[in-house]
Structure formats: structure tokens, C-alpha cells
């Protein structure tokens, strides 16, 4: 009986969100969308670079193995040159970890996409919210800051997306 009374009190104490609160949420929504674009761009280009290096090294391996089957018919310099080239490509790919950074940015983008979806869902329920606005905005702020802190460093081309809208730093939850 007490639990039923407590749930009725909680439902009654949560007020619908007003336009000022929704505007605060819109600011967060825009910042999250910018982060999604930046991390998507970083993930996309790191993936492309990783594939170029990986497929190039695979192709060179095939050429080297074909040449080594009939080494007398190829120029003397070709096999060592291809071997050095493939070694450099593999070392560069391992050193810069393009595949790892692609996955890291993809996971961060997915985290920001989840926050975006959470805001969209909550705005649909603004007249009958499940949580108080202050609790919701604190949760969004906390999750946003965790994602920014845990994400891989954005490359320059992805940082430019944030600079275009001046969102490089995590937003201050007390700014409005």
C-alpha cells in the first residue's frame, strides 16, 4: 500500500517540461549532433585509410609471392623494393592504429547517438515526463562529459566540424 502511495506522489511531483527547459535541451541536442558528425567523420576516414593500407599490403604480398616463384624473370631490384615497401606500409599501419581508432570513434559516435535518441524520446514525452527535468539534464551532461573524456582524440578534419559551431569543449551544465 505504501509503495502505491509513493508511486502516485512521484508521478504527481514530476511537472511537465516548459519551453525554457526544452530550449536548454535543444542546446545539448545540437552539441550532441555535432559530436556525432565529428566522430562519424573520424571513424569513416580512419576506416578508409586502414583499408587502403591493409589491401595494399595484401596486394604487395601477392605480387611478392608471385615474383618469388619465378625470380629469374624479374629485375634484381624489384623483390627487395617491394619487400621494403610492404614493410613500411605494415609498420605505418601498426604505428598509427587506423583500425583501432576507427572502432573507437564508431563506439563514441554510437554513445552520442544514444544520447540524441534519449533526448528525442524525452521531448516526445515532455507533457508527461518520466523524470524531472533537472535530473534528466544532469544525466545527459554527465554522460556527455564521460563520452568526451573517454573518446579518442579527434583528428584535425573532425575537430573542424566542432570548431565551426564552437563546441570543442564539453558544455557547462550551468551555462543557462
Angle 33-38-41 (CA atoms, 0-180°, nearest 5)?
A: 125
Task: Dig out the grid coordinates for 46 from the structure.
Answer: 580512419
Question: Quick one: pLDDT at residue 24?
Answer: 85
Query: What DSSP state is assigned to residue 14?
Result: -
Q: Decide if pLDDT at 19 tops 80.
A: yes
Q: Please give the full DSSP string across 56-74, using - where no structure is assigned.
A: HHHHHHHHHHHHHHTGGGS
**How would residue 162 be classed by pLDDT, with cut points 50, 70 and 90?**
confident
CA distance 161 to 43: 14
Dump pLDDT digits (tens) for 85-113. Answer: 999 999 999 999 999 999 999 999 999 99
pTM over 0.85: no
Please list the alpha-helical segments (H only) found in the chain: 2-13, 19-69, 78-96, 98-124, 133-150, 156-164
Give the helix/strand (H/E) hosting 77.
none
Assign residue 30 a region: left if phi > 0, alpha if psi is -120 to 50, beta otherwise? alpha
Whole-angstrom distance, CA of residue 67 vs CA of residue 158: 41
Distance CA 5, CA 90 (A): 66
Check residue 98 and give its pLDDT.
95
Amino acid at each position: 500500500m505504501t509503495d502505491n502511495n509513493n508511486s502516485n506522489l512521484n508521478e504527481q511531483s514530476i511537472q511537465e517540461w516548459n519551453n525554457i527547459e526544452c530550449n536548454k535541451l535543444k542546446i545539448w541536442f545540437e552539441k550532441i549532433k555535432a559530436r556525432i558528425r565529428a566522430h562519424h567523420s573520424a571513424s569513416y576516414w580512419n576506416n578508409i585509410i586502414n583499408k587502403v593500407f591493409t589491401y595494399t599490403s595484401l596486394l604487395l604480398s601477392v605480387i611478392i609471392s608471385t615474383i618469388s616463384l619465378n625470380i629469374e624473370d624479374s629485375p634484381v631490384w624489384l623483390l627487395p623494393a617491394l619487400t621494403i615497401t610492404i614493410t613500411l606500409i605494415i609498420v605505418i599501419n601498426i604505428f598509427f592504429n587506423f583500425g583501432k581508432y576507427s572502432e573507437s570513434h564508431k563506439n563514441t559516435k554510437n554513445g552520442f547517438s544514444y544520447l540524441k535518441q534519449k533526448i528525442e524520446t524525452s521531448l516526445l514525452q515532455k507533457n508527461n515526463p518520466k523524470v524531472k527535468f533537472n535530473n534528466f539534464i544532469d544525466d545527459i551532461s554527465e554522460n556527455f562529459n564521460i563520452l568526451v573524456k573517454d573518446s579518442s582524440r579527434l583528428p584535425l578534419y573532425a575537430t573542424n566540424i566542432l570548431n565551426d559551431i564552437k563546441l570543442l569543449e564539453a558544455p557547462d551544465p550551468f551555462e543557462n
